[in-house]
């Protein structure tokens, strides 16, 4: 039996505003419990919400970035349910008329093809607080600092067909919101979280199967594992004569499995209705145009431009545009060097990336600036140093020993290009290895490499490799 998986994702991206969506309390992460929960966030009697302009602007930016229809009029609704981390007994969200409607995102698949994933809608809503389950004499503690943090809930069409596609979509979306500067993308802190709706059906069946919703997925790895587990579970269930029940399930990363959370599920009649404390969000053309004007170059466009402008491969362009900062760094390097974009790409993706990775740093925290890197590359370009020596210089740059020129000078790493100086070294090497010389002249060509190595060693790597090759070939002929 061949099975097909159908997945739709609901992604919650916390918007990177300073203050909350309906109050002036700070959204900063990690404060002492309830120190950033103001009267509005606590739902004190008599308090009222007022919408944060920046949250609306960020939602519009997202809508424009995914080619969606941005609603000129959208409505906030109340989603009513009781939960201790939900202070008012309702969540302010958007229901019938969301601010972003119908967009799409193109994802790149591992086989090199791409696929367009529909985005049904994206709406503004407020986050809830947190229940802490450490034991307080058998009670739970409620921290409402997060309550009222603005969220953009992005709902995809059920267009995803595998865990890998789901992850690719989620990564692409993550890249997008971070590019736009509307979300810090920090998944550990819960700034970007995912609920997955998963069902399976027999291949060719036009009808969707019954879906389960998995909540609480806050890493790409968990999304992949949870979906894979869930697919397996549903197929096993159906094949053994059972039925999938529509329910909410929780992924347990320790056990690597999903399990039912019926407790929260029962009687979810949310009684949505328009929030009478808020008026319709009316966005005029001017507001939308201003948001459009503030859009940065988006990942796909930047990637394409890198291919065309710098002659990079699609793969390299993809790596260099993975984040806005990396792309900016790369372009700053090329601009400072003034040529050889390929050389710049190799260094940014090679040594620089390796060092960043080793120290677990972002590009923004690189101790080597783009200008410094270009200074190093310039010395490769003008043959002051060889590529090999450049690696040594880069390490010194990373360690903060100054600019490339100063390091080269201080360490005496300047390449030897003076023919007579190189000839002298070659002469010394030949004189010291009569046996190898004889063998070479007798036809053992591969000893050429031995001589090159000896010359480079004696010159401490500073002899210009090309000149060494030429002069050595000449001298060895005799």
Residues of this chain that interact with other proteins (CB under 8 A) are 17-19, 23-26, 32-39, 42-56, 75-76, 78, 80, 82-85, 87-90, 131-133, 136, 138-144, 250, 261, 263-264, 267, 269, 271-274, 276-282
Q: Toward other proteins, which CB reaches closer, 116 or 132?
A: 132
Alpha helices per DSSP H over 267-366: 285-293, 299-310, 314-320, 324-337, 341-347, 353-359
Q: Toward other proteins, which CB reaches closer, 115 or 215?
A: 215
CB of 141 closer than 8 Å to CB of 77: no
Q: Toward other proteins, which CB reaches closer, 32 or 382?
A: 32
CB of 34 closer than 8 Å to CB of 153: no
Q: Toward other proteins, which CB reaches closer, 87 or 341?
A: 87
CB of 34 closer than 8 Å to CB of 145: yes
CB of residue 260 to other proteins, shortest distance in Å = 11
Q: Toward other proteins, which CB reaches closer, 280 or 364?
A: 280
CB of residue 72 to other proteins, shortest distance in Å = 10
Helix, coil or strand: residue 457: helix
Q: Toward other proteins, which CB reaches closer, 273 or 315?
A: 273
C-alpha span between 342 and 302 (Å, rounded): 16
- Quote the DSSP letter at residue 219: S
Closest CA to 319 of 358, 357, 359, 292: 357
CB of residue 239 to other proteins, shortest distance in Å = 30
Which residues lie across from 155 on neighbouring strands?
Answer: 10, 121
CB of residue 114 to other proteins, shortest distance in Å = 36
CB of residue 370 to other proteins, shortest distance in Å = 31
Helix, coil or strand: residue 387: helix
CB of 278 closer than 8 Å to CB of 124: no
CB of residue 201 to other proteins, shortest distance in Å = 27
C-alpha span between 329 and 315 (Å, rounded): 17
CB of residue 367 to other proteins, shortest distance in Å = 32
CB of 248 closer than 8 Å to CB of 265: yes
CB of 298 closer than 8 Å to CB of 112: no
CB of residue 134 to other proteins, shortest distance in Å = 9
CB of residue 318 to other proteins, shortest distance in Å = 33
Q: Which residues touch 229 (CB under 8 Å, ≥6 apart)?
A: 251, 256, 257, 258
CB of residue 235 to other proteins, shortest distance in Å = 26
Max Cα–Cα distance, the chain, nearest Å: 100
C-alpha span between 215 and 249 (Å, rounded): 6
Q: Toward other proteins, which CB reaches closer, 25 or 407?
A: 25
Q: Which residues touch 280 (CB under 8 Å, ≥6 apart)?
A: 73, 74, 75, 97
CB of residue 287 to other proteins, shortest distance in Å = 9
Q: Toward other proteins, which CB reaches closer, 21 or 426?
A: 21
Q: Toward other proteins, which CB reaches closer, 136 or 188?
A: 136
Q: Toward other proteins, which CB reaches closer, 118 or 141?
A: 141
Rg (CA), the chain: 30
Alpha helices per DSSP H over 338-458: 341-347, 353-359, 370-381, 387-398, 404-411, 419-432, 434-441, 447-458
C-alpha span between 9 and 1 (Å, rounded): 26
C-alpha span between 434 and 428 (Å, rounded): 11
C-alpha span between 333 and 305 (Å, rounded): 16
């Amino acid at each position: 039996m061949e099975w097909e998986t159908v997945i739709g994702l609901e992604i919650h991206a916390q918007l990177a505003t300073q203050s909350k969506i309906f109050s002036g309390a700070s959204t900063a992460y990690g404060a002492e419990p309830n120190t950033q929960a103001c009267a509005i966030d606590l739902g004190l009697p008599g308090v009222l919400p007022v919408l944060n302009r920046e949250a609306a602007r960020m939602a519009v930016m997202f809508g424009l970035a995914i080619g969606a229809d941005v609603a000129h009029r959208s409505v906030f609704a109340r989603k009513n349910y009781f939960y201790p981390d939900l202070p008012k007994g309702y969540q302010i969200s958007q229901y019938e008329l969301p601010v972003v409607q119908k967009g799409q995102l193109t994802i790149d698949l591992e086989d090199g093809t791409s696929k367009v994933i529909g985005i049904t809608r994206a709406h503004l809503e407020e986050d809830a607080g947190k229940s802490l389950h450490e034991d307080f004499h058998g009670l739970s503690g409620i921290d409402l600092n997060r309550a009222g943090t603005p969220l953009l809930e992005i709902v995809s069409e059920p267009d995803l067909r595998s865990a890998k596609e789901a992850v690719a979509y989620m990564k692409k979306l993550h890249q997008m919101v971070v590019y736009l500067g509307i979300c810090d993308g920090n998944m550990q802190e819960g700034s970007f979280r995912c609920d997955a709706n998963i069902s399976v059906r027999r291949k060719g069946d036009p009808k969707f199967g019954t879906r389960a919703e998995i909540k609480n997925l806050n890493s790409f790895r968990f999304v992949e594992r949870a979906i894979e587990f869930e697919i397996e579970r549903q197929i096993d269930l159906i094949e053994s004569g059972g039925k999938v029940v529509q329910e909410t399930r929780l992924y347990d990363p320790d056990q690597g499995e999903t399990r039912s959370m019926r407790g929260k599920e029962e009687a979810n009649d949310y009684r949505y209705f328009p929030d009478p404390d808020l008026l319709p969000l009316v966005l005029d053309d001017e507001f939308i145009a201003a948001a459009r004007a503030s859009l940065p170059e988006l990942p796909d466009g930047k990637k394409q431009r890198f291919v065309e402008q710098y002659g990079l491969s699609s793969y390299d362009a993809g790596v260099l545009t993975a984040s806005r900062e990396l792309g900016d760094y790369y372009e700053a390097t090329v601009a400072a060097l003034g040529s050889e974009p390929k050389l710049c790409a190799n260094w940014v993706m090679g040594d620089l990336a390796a060092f960043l990775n080793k120290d677990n740093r972002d590009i923004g925290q690189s101790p080597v600036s783009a200008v410094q890197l270009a200074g190093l590359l310039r010395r490769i370009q003008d043959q002051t140093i060889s590529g090999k020596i450049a690696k040594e210089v880069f390490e010194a740059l990373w360690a903060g020993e100054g600019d490339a020129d100063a390091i080269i000078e201080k360490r005496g790493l300047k390449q030897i290009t003076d023919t007579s100086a190189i000839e002298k070294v070659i002469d010394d090497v030949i004189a010291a290895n009569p046996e190898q010389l004889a063998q070479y002249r007798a036809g053992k060509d591969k000893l050429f490499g031995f001589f090159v190595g000896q010359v480079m060693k004696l010159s401490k790597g500073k002899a210009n490799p090309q000149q060494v090759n030429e002069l050595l070939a000449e001298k060895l002929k005799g």
